[in-house]
Copies of this chain bind each other. A is one copy, B any other.
Amino acid sequence: MNDITLDQAWQVIDAANEAATTQGTAMNIAVVDVGGNLKAFLRMDGAWLGSIDISIKKAWTARAFDLPTAELAKNSQSGGQFFGIHASNQGRVMIFAGGIPLKKGDAVVGAVGVSGGMGEQDQAVAEAGAAAFR
């Protein structure tokens, strides 16, 4: 099937949760499906309230453009070719690190988004989550 299942979403979230715990940060972790729609989410105790929305939107963005949000960021700063893209899609586009597509072969079938720490921390936790997807 060409979509992510709930079981798979949980594997991703569990792995991300574990990586965040090891890292010592409190994260919001979201997974979206092939349609970009929310599949599963958790907010660790003490994680930023403002990152609920951001984690979901990072996941959406990674699926919507089929690339990591950290990559999108490179072209979306002032002066870049995609500058202004963050204003599109009713503000759903997040252009900083922490969103990663989930792939079966070459096909993107969902994405994980993480928010709650510095950019590098979010990225590392999202990568740990994505690595658990199979």
Interface on A for B, CB 8 Å cutoff?
A: 1-3, 5-6, 9-10, 33-45, 48-54, 57, 60-61, 63-66, 73, 76-79, 81-97, 118-120
**Count of this chain's copies in the oligomeric assembly:** 4
The reply to whether A94 and B87 contact each other, CB–CB distance below 8 Å, is yes
The chain B residue with its CB closest to the CB of A70 is: B81
CA distance A54 to B86 in the complex (A): 10
The reply to whether B76 and A77 contact each other, CB–CB distance below 8 Å, is no
The chain B residue with its CB closest to the CB of A36 is: B49
Contact sample, A vs B, 9 pairs, CB 8 Å cutoff: A6-B44, A9-B42, A35-B37, A37-B43, A41-B42, A49-B65, A50-B64, A53-B89, A77-B79
CA distance A93 to B129 in the complex (A): 27
The reply to whether A87 and B91 contact each other, CB–CB distance below 8 Å, is yes
The reply to whether A88 and B54 contact each other, CB–CB distance below 8 Å, is yes
The reply to whether B57 and A88 contact each other, CB–CB distance below 8 Å, is yes
The reply to whether B2 and A45 contact each other, CB–CB distance below 8 Å, is no
CA distance A77 to B84 in the complex (A): 9
The reply to whether A119 and B82 contact each other, CB–CB distance below 8 Å, is yes
CA distance A120 to B57 in the complex (A): 27
Contact among B45, B57, B78, B96 for A6, CB-based, below 8 A: B45
